[in-house]
Structure 1
């Protein structure tokens, strides 16, 4: 049965929307329920309370005090070393206080631990101009001008937030500095523009590459700059490359469902390519686009539509049973809270989603920036990836509700309950070879969760684990340092290997996983043929119009 959004009265919905402005979009009821569960069980455990009292005075392990926030030499001197040690001891104590309390729901314990760590990090001595020795030294050196600059930066940022534009305007512009690989829009409908990139080789493989990015972000992260463009790299390897550019939904698009994203998105693009003569396609999906592409592949396999030559999934989950810390924000209370927020506007705003993502890495995305911008008086240098990251998109109400309920809450795809065209699909039906990429420090799609694809499919799967995060690890162009990877292959019918064992058995390889993937694609492709003239009438030059929405 198709999931339907939770609905409440207009007054409740507007109240929850107003409340969300003060909670970063998080449900207070979900937090309170978790806290009540933890606190009641801890109060009923006097032996555990005594153990916690003793734990505070235990010496920390060496690895526990290796916190990069206190790496500067100034933190090793008295009294700042005592402040750092006390702060780290508080972190250790809080972890112990929320770990394995008998009777507490493990997810509730994780939520309480997470919330407490956010409060601790807020009051870290690193964030104080008076307690941070690095800031004190800078203030003495510059006679306080760093704090004056920081105050100006804070006022600028606050005014932008009031105006509804919380991010600084970037000097990097789409179509000028970003998304500049030459191409044409060859299809446009209510939801997508399909972009075809101009080939640069005299011969091309007969199977084109279709890339499906996540609809939560603009596609051009995969065509960032001239030197950091995955689509340009694939084009230069002798492939015809196509990418979907999703429309940024508005209130009138609130009724768009996951079925629409499949029909108007993946299926529309595939049909367009096959009608123009493509017999088979190399399909690629990134993040949520990878989840959607896996759904489409399973539906094609169920229906006997043998159009996929291969399937590549980049930092994409198909099993949401272990989604990492992001899963702490997804429960019935939280989803209902989000649905009320979306009911008042027809979509979920980008900044309403950003709060949860920033909290996942609050030290990197919030507090380190507070120190750098407002205390040290330094602006983070503008760069293309920051410009793209600030160019966020909205989520239509119906689709986002279905996604959260059917994936995060129900895990329907992994459990064989997900329906397409009112019929169930199964990942085990996919017979084409799969290339799956995960990144080691991914806070959105943890690599161990991505790895579960190998447990849910019955075909050849090449699994690659790259150093880096959700975006940086994927953008591992040749020549980029610090991006080694591990690669292994599971043959159809081979026994399953647990993720930890897989990691131990595969050694690091130098170079870019892009090159490794290109060799894999070449091996899965037909012999190259003379470059064909385009069968499509261009509607507009790349990057199209939807990317500016």
Structure 2
């Protein structure tokens, strides 16, 4: 919009419907599409076959947390009056400044505010109505958060839950999310006579249908990416498979390779190709180019057949199966292992179990955004208590799995202001397809979770934190991370909402050997998938974590290095990689099953 086209103070022309007939017709069409979305939502909720809804447990936890906050403030009338007075005084201050603004008094200007991209449109400050709505919203949100932070006598779990739920509500009620209170949406709706709403509701109906009654929010343009076409295209072959996974070996790009192969254990929440996105972002391709022989576990998308596949199954039929495959393919019995997120948690527990069994094939471990201690596991703990786990288990019983949409929603809620509401506004109100984005395509490519494995993960790790306490039992005995004495490279990221950097730091203390802790910039995905040629972000290095050195103190003293952590890791792993040998072609005894990325990642 040019300067001459921008609305000016008191100019309501851009907000007046110009063609009432066309507007009414488009509203009717939008309502029709909304009706289709409602039908898609109702279909799986037929009274005769209504599925168990785990969100009921979440609502109960939210009400319980808010009740505790309310009890604190209402228990003392003076305290409650003070809180209300503070809010009303803020409203009156906004009102008085708005009145002065109308009269042309320049002293109405507010203090410098933190930039908020939701309110980038000039009208949020230049138009009296929208400026008032914006300020009231910001004030009310800050006040609501203060009720949580200032409430005394709360246990940490209740405070964290209340803070999380308040943030979700505050993000949801932002005036930027509604047509009548968002100047940009309002103008567009008037300019297009509501045609944007028709497109948006059509996408809404499509996304509700794709999610089989649950909204599958599109975060990237459909059809922009295809696994094996422009994602996960690093050359290689599937060299072994079983009911739970395929093992991929990648083709060399150098004439000589390091003697010790690399095994990657990725998460089974979503797909392994987060490590093999487009060629310029592929961590796997970069590893191959550095002279490593790379193997990766590609987990199957489980169904009812896999309901009883538990944590031990994923170790034996995944991790151990991969080690056996590497030995057959390369005749090497020593490997350097890499685990990402929950794949790193499995790798850590697996190494402790293998040590108890006398299996020492894993000689080093690289843990990417991996938690092994869950005391400070962050906002995901909001979804994990006995009541909510029981509800999830009830959901998983009929199908033997948890639908990937549940986990995708939980992860999106951790950053709802970035991963939910901008797409709700852009897709369904502006009627605009989101741009192509490989990372968000992967994020939406959710997988199911096998019931036994997922229940074990939630209970034994998140709820009971057994691993670092030495209480976890696997295969008939207890395991201990203190038995893991191989060198460990543990990478955390500053803005990680899934594996918080403090939690990763604390987990390092449980290992029995030398741990190199590195703190990268950005978050759980972008901080890990950070190719050196982009020269983005930074990373901190320092001494090994110690029990008497707090995480904050480690960060304060650690020197900062610019760019990607990948070359730093390469310099760390090379002394453990062995001499160079002739490059190896993929295959077990010269045989392969199919080209990478294989069938399982597409299922």
TM-score, normalization by structure 1: 0.90
The CA deviation at 1:32 is 3.3
Tell me the alpha carbon deviations over residues 160-179 of structure 1, each in whole angstroms, 9 at most, x when there is no partner.
34577936543311111111
Partner SS for 2:405: helix
The correspondence for 2:166, drawn from 107, 116, 120, is: 116
CA contact (8 A) 2:488 2:515 kept: yes
CA contact (8 A) 2:380 2:498 kept: yes
TM-score, normalization by structure 2: 0.83
Normalized per residue, the structure richer in helix is 2
Please name the residue that 1:226 is paired with.
279
- Whole-Å Cα distance in 1 between the matches of residues 306 and 562 of structure 2? 45
Distance 1:507 1:397, change over 3 A: same
The correspondence for 2:153, drawn from 103, 125, 133, is: 103
Distance 1:349 1:374, change over 3 A: same
CA contact (8 A) 1:27 1:337 kept: no
Tell me the alpha carbon deviations over residues 26-75 of structure 1, each in whole angstroms, 9 at most, x when there is no partner.
53333333333333333223343133123323589968754332233322
Please name the residue that 2:122 is paired with.
73
Partner SS for 1:321: coil
Partner SS for 2:592: coil
- Whole-Å Cα distance in 2 between the matches of residues 142 and 31 of structure 1? 40
Please name the residue that 2:316 is paired with.
263
CA contact (8 A) 1:212 1:243 kept: yes
CA contact (8 A) 2:259 2:581 kept: yes
Structure 1, 118-127 or 280-289: larger mean CA deviation? 118-127
CA contact (8 A) 1:16 1:337 kept: no
Please name the residue that 1:508 is paired with.
560
CA contact (8 A) 2:339 2:366 kept: yes
Tell me the alpha carbon deviations over residues 8-40 of structure 1, each in whole angstroms, 9 at most, x when there is no partner.
xxxxxx9994334xx3x7533333333333333
CA contact (8 A) 1:324 1:445 kept: yes
Please name the residue that 1:394 is paired with.
448
1:181-260 matches, within 5 Å, as 181-260=234-313
Structure 1, 313-322 or 172-181: larger mean CA deviation? 172-181
2:569 aligned with 1:517: yes
The correspondence for 1:38, drawn from 69, 81, 89, is: 69
The correspondence for 2:52, drawn from 10, 15, 18, is: 18
Structure 1, 158-167 or 329-338: larger mean CA deviation? 158-167
2:418 aligned with 1:364: yes
- Whole-Å Cα distance in 2 between the matches of residues 75 and 28 of structure 1? 33
Tell me the alpha carbon deviations over residues 370-392 of structure 1, each in whole angstroms, 9 at most, x when there is no partner.
22123333221122222222221
Distance 1:75 1:96, change over 3 A: same
2:144 aligned with 1:84: no
- Whole-Å Cα distance in 2 between the matches of residues 167 and 547 of structure 1? 21
The correspondence for 2:81, drawn from 50, 62, 65, is: 50
Please name the residue that 2:12 is paired with.
none
The CA deviation at 1:85 is 1.4
2:386 aligned with 1:332: yes
Distance 1:86 1:487, change over 3 A: same
Partner SS for 1:357: helix
- Whole-Å Cα distance in 2 between the matches of residues 17 and 95 of structure 1? 34
CA contact (8 A) 1:301 1:431 kept: no
Tell me the alpha carbon deviations over residues 365-419 of structure 1, each in whole angstroms, 9 at most, x when there is no partner.
2211122123333221122222222221100111111111100111000111112
Unmatched tracts of structure 2, length 5 or more: 1-47, 95-109
Structure 1, 479-488 or 144-153: larger mean CA deviation? 144-153
CA contact (8 A) 1:65 1:88 kept: no
CA contact (8 A) 2:252 2:584 kept: no
Distance 1:108 1:546, change over 3 A: same
The correspondence for 2:224, drawn from 171, 178, 182, is: 171
2:559 aligned with 1:541: no
CA contact (8 A) 1:322 1:449 kept: yes
Unmatched tracts of structure 1, length 5 or more: 1-13
Please name the residue that 1:9 is paired with.
none
Please name the residue that 1:11 is paired with.
none
The correspondence for 2:210, drawn from 143, 160, 168, is: 160
Structure 1, 431-440 or 312-321: larger mean CA deviation? 431-440
Distance 1:385 1:45, change over 3 A: same
- Whole-Å Cα distance in 1 between the matches of residues 268 and 400 of structure 2? 16
CA contact (8 A) 2:241 2:247 kept: yes
- Whole-Å Cα distance in 1 between the matches of residues 50 and 210 of structure 2? 24
Partner SS for 2:432: coil
Please name the residue that 1:375 is paired with.
429
CA contact (8 A) 1:98 1:112 kept: yes
CA RMSD in angstroms comes to 2.5
- Whole-Å Cα distance in 2 between the matches of residues 123 and 163 of structure 1? 24
The correspondence for 1:450, drawn from 490, 501, 504, is: 504
The CA deviation at 1:125 is 0.8
- Whole-Å Cα distance in 1 between the matches of residues 504 and 444 of structure 2? 26
Partner SS for 1:437: strand
